[in-house]
Amino acid sequence: MSDSKSKKIAVVTGASAGIGAVYAERLAARGYDLVLVARRAERLEALSAKVSKTYGTKVEVIDADLTKEVDLARVEKVLATDPAVRILVNNAGNATLAPIAQTSAEDAASMIALNVTALTRLTQAVLPAFLSRNAGVIINVASVLSLHSLPISSIYSGTKGYVLNFSRGLQELADTGVKLQVVLPASTATEIWDLSGVPLAALNQDTVMTAENLVDAALAGFDKGEAITLPSVADATLWDKYDAARSTLFAATQTGQPAPRYKAP
């Protein structure tokens, strides 16, 4: 993912604000034209004007609600048919943070539709073309709540846990030129907090990263070849230990027998 005289396209979902908007600016600075996807067309147009003026970037704006079939299909078509697409940033997501008994069926369905279904379908749409060219980049934005669940985050954590496991399971990318990175942000200063029901102001501000720092760290991780990036974690060996423990635990399940503690005396 480097600068090039030949213009290529990066598609960024959830690009109207926050993490997605910063990805759009940073990728424009790296020489990519953009396809920006979000529900708020006026914000996309403003961002388009900004990056076009600053970087000379060609920008296509797609006003789309990815929880709606017709809008999702429009974006799928771009990913599947435009040979200039080189990067997909699956950033669009939403959160309702509340106990599940206080979460409406509509809010739960919306989180699953956007965080899980849309991300899966957009990945499926772009992957055949990437594999046929043996080149391309998919960046899936998950969350540290992929690894942890709070009393108010059961659905959100479930959807982001899916993003992590879905991404890690794409074994067809092994030994190809297609790269996939999963980014696990911790608390980040974006509008998702106020929309979630937990105001950003209620958080310990010492734990909150700016969207700019988050994206810059994530892209630095990508440049280093990381498949999984935790931008706020200083000790990289913590992930290695976690992943080793996960692998050990999984291996321990493969016995075909009940564990001795479950056998009758």
Catalytic residue among 156, 162, 242, 262: 156
- On whether the CB atoms of residues 170 and 180 are closer than 8 A, the answer is yes
Is residue 156 part of the annotated active site? The answer reads yes
pLDDT, tens digit (0-9, with 9 covering 90-100), for 87-127: 999 999 998 889 999 999 999 999 999 999 999 999 999 99
Structure tokens at 92: 């669009």
pLDDT, tens digit (0-9, with 9 covering 90-100), for 24-54: 999 999 999 999 999 989 999 999 999 999 9
Rounded Cα–Cα distance for residues 236 and 243 (Å): 11
Rounded Cα–Cα distance for residues 218 and 230 (Å): 8
Which CATH superfamily includes the segment(s) 8-235?
NAD(P)-binding Rossmann-like Domain (3.40.50.720)
Q: pTM here?
A: 0.93
- Ordered by start, the domain boundaries in the chain are 8-235
Q: Which residue has the tokens 């929309």?
A: 195
Mean pLDDT for 254-258 is 96
Structure tokens at 8: 């290529």
- What would the DSSP string read from start to end of 75-139? HHHHHHH-TTEEEEEE-------S-GGGS-HHHHHHHIIIIIIIHHHHHHHHHHHHHHHT-EEEE
pLDDT, tens digit (0-9, with 9 covering 90-100), for 181-205: 999 999 786 666 556 666 667 767 7
The mean predicted confidence, pLDDT, of the chain is 93
